[in-house]
Amino acid sequence: MRNRSVVTEFILLGIPHTEGLQTTLFVLFLSLYIFTLAGNLLILLAIVSSTRLHTPMYFFLCKLSVCDMFFPSVSSPEMLLCLAGNSRAISYAGCASQLFFYHFLGCTECFLHTVMASDRFVAICHPLRYTMIMSRRVCAILAVGTSFFGCIQATFLTTLTFQLPYCGPNEVDYFFCDIPVMLKLACADTSALEMVGLISVGLMPLSCFLLILTSYSRIVYSILQIRSAEGRRRAFSTCSAHLTAILLFYMPVVLIYLRPTPSPWLDATVQILNNLVTPMLNPLIYSLRNKEVKSSLRKVLHQVGFLPEQLWRKDSS
Protein backbone atom coordinates (compact mmCIF):
# COMPACT_ATOMS: atom_id res chain seq x y z
CA MET A 1 0.00 0.00 0.00
CA ARG A 2 1.18 3.51 -0.78
CA ASN A 3 2.28 5.50 2.27
CA ARG A 4 -0.06 8.50 2.38
CA SER A 5 1.99 10.28 5.06
CA VAL A 6 4.57 12.89 4.03
CA VAL A 7 5.65 13.45 7.65
CA THR A 8 8.83 11.51 8.44
CA GLU A 9 9.30 12.79 11.99
CA PHE A 10 7.46 14.62 14.75
CA ILE A 11 8.62 17.31 17.15
CA LEU A 12 7.71 16.79 20.81
CA LEU A 13 7.00 20.19 22.36
CA GLY A 14 7.24 18.79 25.89
CA ILE A 15 5.16 19.51 28.98
CA PRO A 16 2.88 22.53 28.46
CA HIS A 17 3.50 25.71 30.50
CA THR A 18 6.83 24.63 32.00
CA GLU A 19 9.14 27.19 30.36
CA GLY A 20 12.14 27.95 32.56
CA LEU A 21 11.64 24.87 34.77
CA GLN A 22 13.50 22.38 32.61
CA THR A 23 16.44 21.84 34.99
CA THR A 24 14.25 21.42 38.06
CA LEU A 25 11.89 19.05 36.27
CA PHE A 26 14.81 17.07 34.85
CA VAL A 27 16.26 16.42 38.32
CA LEU A 28 12.82 15.62 39.78
CA PHE A 29 11.71 13.24 37.00
CA LEU A 30 15.10 11.53 36.78
CA SER A 31 14.96 10.85 40.53
CA LEU A 32 11.43 9.46 40.26
CA TYR A 33 12.43 7.31 37.29
CA ILE A 34 15.45 5.85 39.12
CA PHE A 35 13.40 5.17 42.27
CA THR A 36 10.70 3.50 40.14
CA LEU A 37 13.17 1.16 38.47
CA ALA A 38 15.03 0.41 41.72
CA GLY A 39 11.87 -0.21 43.76
CA ASN A 40 10.31 -2.60 41.28
CA LEU A 41 13.62 -4.39 40.72
CA LEU A 42 13.93 -4.95 44.49
CA ILE A 43 10.38 -6.35 44.65
CA LEU A 44 11.20 -8.64 41.72
CA LEU A 45 14.40 -9.89 43.37
CA ALA A 46 12.66 -10.34 46.72
CA ILE A 47 9.95 -12.54 45.17
CA VAL A 48 12.33 -14.59 43.04
CA SER A 49 14.82 -15.18 45.88
CA SER A 50 12.27 -16.30 48.50
CA THR A 51 10.62 -19.71 48.09
CA ARG A 52 7.87 -18.64 50.52
CA LEU A 53 6.72 -16.10 47.95
CA HIS A 54 6.42 -18.58 45.08
CA THR A 55 2.62 -18.44 45.11
CA PRO A 56 0.12 -17.24 42.48
CA MET A 57 -0.42 -13.86 44.20
CA TYR A 58 3.30 -13.04 44.18
CA PHE A 59 3.73 -14.50 40.71
CA PHE A 60 1.29 -11.89 39.38
CA LEU A 61 2.91 -9.22 41.56
CA CYS A 62 6.20 -10.18 39.93
CA LYS A 63 4.75 -9.53 36.48
CA LEU A 64 3.26 -6.25 37.73
CA SER A 65 6.74 -5.15 38.80
CA VAL A 66 8.09 -6.00 35.34
CA CYS A 67 5.32 -3.91 33.74
CA ASP A 68 6.02 -1.06 36.15
CA MET A 69 9.67 -1.05 35.09
CA PHE A 70 8.92 -0.96 31.36
CA PHE A 71 5.84 1.30 31.46
CA PRO A 72 7.66 4.53 32.50
CA SER A 73 10.52 3.60 30.16
CA VAL A 74 8.25 4.16 27.15
CA SER A 75 8.04 7.95 27.54
CA SER A 76 10.40 9.01 30.35
CA PRO A 77 13.78 8.72 28.54
CA GLU A 78 12.51 10.85 25.63
CA MET A 79 11.02 13.37 28.06
CA LEU A 80 14.28 13.58 30.04
CA LEU A 81 16.27 14.11 26.84
CA CYS A 82 13.97 16.98 25.88
CA LEU A 83 14.30 18.55 29.33
CA ALA A 84 18.08 18.22 29.07
CA GLY A 85 18.05 20.32 25.91
CA ASN A 86 18.60 17.57 23.36
CA SER A 87 16.73 17.22 20.09
CA ARG A 88 12.97 17.01 20.44
CA ALA A 89 12.55 15.15 17.15
CA ILE A 90 11.15 11.63 17.09
CA SER A 91 10.81 9.54 13.94
CA TYR A 92 7.47 8.45 12.53
CA ALA A 93 8.22 4.82 13.40
CA GLY A 94 9.47 5.85 16.85
CA CYS A 95 6.26 7.75 17.52
CA ALA A 96 4.14 4.77 16.46
CA SER A 97 6.24 2.43 18.59
CA GLN A 98 5.90 4.74 21.58
CA LEU A 99 2.12 4.78 21.27
CA PHE A 100 1.96 1.01 20.80
CA PHE A 101 4.11 0.08 23.80
CA TYR A 102 2.44 2.67 26.02
CA HIS A 103 -1.00 1.14 25.41
CA PHE A 104 0.34 -2.42 25.31
CA LEU A 105 1.86 -2.13 28.79
CA GLY A 106 -1.07 -0.09 30.10
CA CYS A 107 -3.65 -2.61 28.85
CA THR A 108 -1.56 -5.52 30.10
CA GLU A 109 -1.47 -3.96 33.57
CA CYS A 110 -5.23 -3.37 33.42
CA PHE A 111 -5.86 -7.04 32.65
CA LEU A 112 -3.31 -8.02 35.28
CA HIS A 113 -5.16 -6.12 38.01
CA THR A 114 -8.31 -7.99 37.00
CA VAL A 115 -6.51 -11.34 37.23
CA MET A 116 -5.10 -10.39 40.64
CA ALA A 117 -8.62 -9.57 41.86
CA SER A 118 -9.77 -12.99 40.63
CA ASP A 119 -6.87 -14.58 42.48
CA ARG A 120 -7.94 -12.87 45.74
CA PHE A 121 -11.52 -13.96 45.09
CA VAL A 122 -10.53 -17.62 44.80
CA ALA A 123 -8.18 -17.40 47.82
CA ILE A 124 -10.85 -15.93 50.12
CA CYS A 125 -14.09 -17.38 48.78
CA HIS A 126 -12.76 -20.87 47.87
CA PRO A 127 -9.69 -21.39 50.09
CA LEU A 128 -9.86 -25.19 50.08
CA ARG A 129 -9.81 -25.34 46.28
CA TYR A 130 -7.31 -22.50 45.82
CA THR A 131 -4.24 -24.58 44.93
CA MET A 132 -6.27 -26.69 42.52
CA ILE A 133 -7.93 -23.74 40.75
CA MET A 134 -4.85 -21.47 40.66
CA SER A 135 -2.42 -24.11 39.46
CA ARG A 136 0.86 -23.24 37.77
CA ARG A 137 -0.63 -23.99 34.37
CA VAL A 138 -3.61 -21.70 35.00
CA CYS A 139 -1.34 -18.92 36.30
CA ALA A 140 0.89 -19.21 33.23
CA ILE A 141 -2.12 -19.05 30.89
CA LEU A 142 -3.50 -16.01 32.71
CA ALA A 143 -0.12 -14.25 32.64
CA VAL A 144 0.32 -14.88 28.91
CA GLY A 145 -3.31 -13.93 28.28
CA THR A 146 -2.87 -10.47 29.86
CA SER A 147 -0.02 -9.71 27.45
CA PHE A 148 -1.81 -11.27 24.47
CA PHE A 149 -5.00 -9.23 24.87
CA GLY A 150 -2.95 -6.15 25.72
CA CYS A 151 -1.10 -6.59 22.43
CA ILE A 152 -4.37 -6.91 20.50
CA GLN A 153 -5.76 -3.74 22.08
CA ALA A 154 -2.56 -1.78 21.47
CA THR A 155 -2.31 -3.00 17.86
CA PHE A 156 -5.88 -1.91 17.18
CA LEU A 157 -5.35 1.56 18.71
CA THR A 158 -2.00 2.09 16.96
CA THR A 159 -3.41 1.02 13.59
CA LEU A 160 -6.45 3.22 14.12
CA THR A 161 -4.22 6.23 14.81
CA PHE A 162 -1.50 5.80 12.20
CA GLN A 163 -3.64 4.75 9.26
CA LEU A 164 -4.52 8.46 9.06
CA PRO A 165 -2.56 10.74 6.71
CA TYR A 166 -0.09 13.09 8.42
CA CYS A 167 1.00 15.85 6.07
CA GLY A 168 1.85 18.63 8.51
CA PRO A 169 2.13 20.27 10.95
CA ASN A 170 4.30 17.79 12.82
CA GLU A 171 4.59 19.45 16.24
CA VAL A 172 3.16 17.25 19.00
CA ASP A 173 1.93 19.49 21.82
CA TYR A 174 2.86 16.92 24.44
CA PHE A 175 5.86 15.07 25.85
CA PHE A 176 5.13 11.76 24.10
CA CYS A 177 2.97 10.37 21.29
CA ASP A 178 -0.52 9.53 22.52
CA ILE A 179 -3.83 9.12 20.71
CA PRO A 180 -5.55 12.48 21.52
CA VAL A 181 -2.59 14.65 20.48
CA MET A 182 -1.83 12.60 17.36
CA LEU A 183 -5.40 12.82 16.06
CA LYS A 184 -5.12 16.62 16.15
CA LEU A 185 -2.28 16.47 13.60
CA ALA A 186 -4.05 14.24 11.08
CA CYS A 187 -4.94 15.71 7.68
CA ALA A 188 -8.40 14.17 7.70
CA ASP A 189 -11.70 14.22 9.53
CA THR A 190 -11.09 12.29 12.75
CA SER A 191 -14.49 12.70 14.46
CA ALA A 192 -15.59 9.12 13.71
CA LEU A 193 -12.21 7.69 14.68
CA GLU A 194 -12.20 9.71 17.90
CA MET A 195 -15.52 8.15 18.83
CA VAL A 196 -14.28 4.64 17.99
CA GLY A 197 -11.04 5.25 19.89
CA LEU A 198 -12.90 6.64 22.90
CA ILE A 199 -15.18 3.60 23.00
CA SER A 200 -12.23 1.23 22.63
CA VAL A 201 -10.07 2.98 25.24
CA GLY A 202 -12.98 3.35 27.66
CA LEU A 203 -14.71 0.00 27.18
CA MET A 204 -11.72 -2.17 28.05
CA PRO A 205 -10.86 -0.59 31.45
CA LEU A 206 -14.56 -0.25 32.26
CA SER A 207 -15.11 -3.97 31.66
CA CYS A 208 -12.09 -4.85 33.77
CA PHE A 209 -13.22 -2.50 36.53
CA LEU A 210 -16.68 -4.08 36.61
CA LEU A 211 -15.11 -7.54 36.91
CA ILE A 212 -12.89 -6.30 39.74
CA LEU A 213 -15.91 -4.71 41.44
CA THR A 214 -17.83 -7.99 41.15
CA SER A 215 -14.93 -9.97 42.60
CA TYR A 216 -14.50 -7.64 45.55
CA SER A 217 -18.22 -7.50 46.31
CA ARG A 218 -18.11 -11.29 46.71
CA ILE A 219 -14.87 -11.00 48.70
CA VAL A 220 -16.34 -8.46 51.13
CA TYR A 221 -19.44 -10.62 51.60
CA SER A 222 -17.27 -13.67 52.36
CA ILE A 223 -15.06 -11.72 54.78
CA LEU A 224 -18.07 -10.46 56.71
CA GLN A 225 -19.10 -14.09 57.26
CA ILE A 226 -15.87 -14.77 59.15
CA ARG A 227 -16.66 -14.90 62.85
CA SER A 228 -13.32 -13.91 64.38
CA ALA A 229 -12.19 -10.28 64.23
CA GLU A 230 -8.59 -11.40 63.66
CA GLY A 231 -9.66 -13.49 60.68
CA ARG A 232 -11.54 -10.58 59.15
CA ARG A 233 -8.58 -8.26 59.72
CA ARG A 234 -6.13 -10.64 58.04
CA ALA A 235 -8.48 -11.18 55.10
CA PHE A 236 -8.94 -7.45 54.59
CA SER A 237 -5.19 -6.82 54.87
CA THR A 238 -4.49 -9.19 51.97
CA CYS A 239 -6.81 -7.14 49.74
CA SER A 240 -6.08 -3.57 50.89
CA ALA A 241 -2.82 -3.25 48.94
CA HIS A 242 -4.43 -4.43 45.70
CA LEU A 243 -7.42 -2.09 46.17
CA THR A 244 -5.08 0.87 46.68
CA ALA A 245 -3.12 -0.02 43.55
CA ILE A 246 -6.37 -0.32 41.56
CA LEU A 247 -7.51 3.16 42.62
CA LEU A 248 -4.14 4.66 41.66
CA PHE A 249 -4.30 2.91 38.28
CA TYR A 250 -7.86 3.79 37.28
CA MET A 251 -8.06 7.42 38.40
CA PRO A 252 -5.59 8.69 35.74
CA VAL A 253 -7.37 6.67 33.03
CA VAL A 254 -10.68 8.36 33.86
CA LEU A 255 -9.13 11.83 34.09
CA ILE A 256 -7.23 11.59 30.80
CA TYR A 257 -9.44 9.63 28.41
CA LEU A 258 -12.98 9.94 29.72
CA ARG A 259 -13.25 13.68 30.45
CA PRO A 260 -15.49 15.62 28.03
CA THR A 261 -13.21 18.70 27.86
CA PRO A 262 -9.47 17.93 27.69
CA SER A 263 -6.90 20.23 29.31
CA PRO A 264 -3.30 19.87 28.00
CA TRP A 265 -1.64 20.96 31.25
CA LEU A 266 -3.87 18.80 33.46
CA ASP A 267 -3.51 15.83 31.11
CA ALA A 268 0.29 16.16 31.16
CA THR A 269 0.34 16.39 34.96
CA VAL A 270 -1.88 13.32 35.35
CA GLN A 271 0.14 11.39 32.75
CA ILE A 272 3.40 12.12 34.59
CA LEU A 273 1.85 10.93 37.84
CA ASN A 274 0.58 7.83 36.01
CA ASN A 275 3.90 7.18 34.26
CA LEU A 276 6.29 7.78 37.15
CA VAL A 277 4.61 8.14 40.53
CA THR A 278 2.13 5.23 40.41
CA PRO A 279 4.73 2.63 39.28
CA MET A 280 7.03 3.96 42.02
CA LEU A 281 4.32 3.64 44.69
CA ASN A 282 3.28 0.09 43.78
CA PRO A 283 6.36 -1.53 45.44
CA LEU A 284 5.70 0.52 48.59
CA ILE A 285 2.00 -0.37 48.62
CA TYR A 286 2.63 -4.08 48.31
CA SER A 287 5.56 -4.23 50.76
CA LEU A 288 4.68 -1.89 53.65
CA ARG A 289 1.81 -4.03 54.97
CA ASN A 290 3.21 -7.41 54.01
CA LYS A 291 5.61 -9.02 56.51
CA GLU A 292 6.81 -11.71 54.10
CA VAL A 293 7.70 -9.21 51.38
CA LYS A 294 9.41 -6.91 53.88
CA SER A 295 11.43 -9.81 55.26
CA SER A 296 12.54 -10.83 51.75
CA LEU A 297 13.36 -7.22 50.88
CA ARG A 298 15.58 -6.90 53.96
CA LYS A 299 17.36 -10.09 52.93
CA VAL A 300 17.94 -8.74 49.40
CA LEU A 301 19.14 -5.37 50.75
CA HIS A 302 21.53 -7.17 53.08
CA GLN A 303 22.90 -9.31 50.25
CA VAL A 304 23.61 -6.29 48.04
CA GLY A 305 25.23 -4.43 50.94
CA PHE A 306 22.60 -1.76 51.63
CA LEU A 307 21.58 -3.18 55.02
CA PRO A 308 24.18 -3.80 57.76
CA GLU A 309 24.52 -7.26 59.31
CA GLN A 310 23.43 -6.14 62.77
CA LEU A 311 20.31 -4.36 61.53
CA TRP A 312 19.36 -7.25 59.24
CA ARG A 313 19.64 -9.84 62.00
CA LYS A 314 17.72 -7.60 64.38
CA ASP A 315 14.89 -7.16 61.83
CA SER A 316 14.89 -10.89 60.99
CA SER A 317 14.55 -11.87 64.61
| Tens digit of each residue's pLDDT (9 = 90 or more) over 54-109 | 888 889 989 999 999 999 999 888 888 888 888 788 999 999 999 999 999 999 99
Which of residues 300 and 284 earns the better pLDDT score? 284
* Predicted pLDDT of residue 317: 47
Mean pLDDT for 134-149 is 94
pLDDT at residue 294 tops 80? no
* Predicted pLDDT of residue 73: 92
How large a percentage of the chain has pLDDT more than 90?
21
pLDDT at residue 313 tops 60? no
Q: According to the per-residue pLDDT averaged within each range, which of 134-148, 237-251, 267-281 is highest?
A: 134-148
* pTM listed for this prediction: 0.85
Residues 186, 197 contacting (CB under 8 angstroms)? no
Question: Tell me: the pLDDT tens digits for 219-267?
Answer: 888 888 877 777 777 777 767 777 888 888 887 777 766 666 666 667 7
Among 47-56, 105-114, 138-147, the least confident range: 47-56
Q: Which domains does the chain have, with CATH numbers?
A: 12-309 (1.20.1070.10)
Q: How far is it, in rounded angstroms, from Cα 105 to Cα 191?
A: 26
pLDDT at residue 133 tops 70? yes
Question: Tell me: the pLDDT tens digits for 195-205?
Answer: 776 667 777 88
Among 149-153, 185-189, 200-204, the least confident range: 200-204
Question: Tell me: the pLDDT tens digits for 16-29?
Answer: 777 778 889 899 99
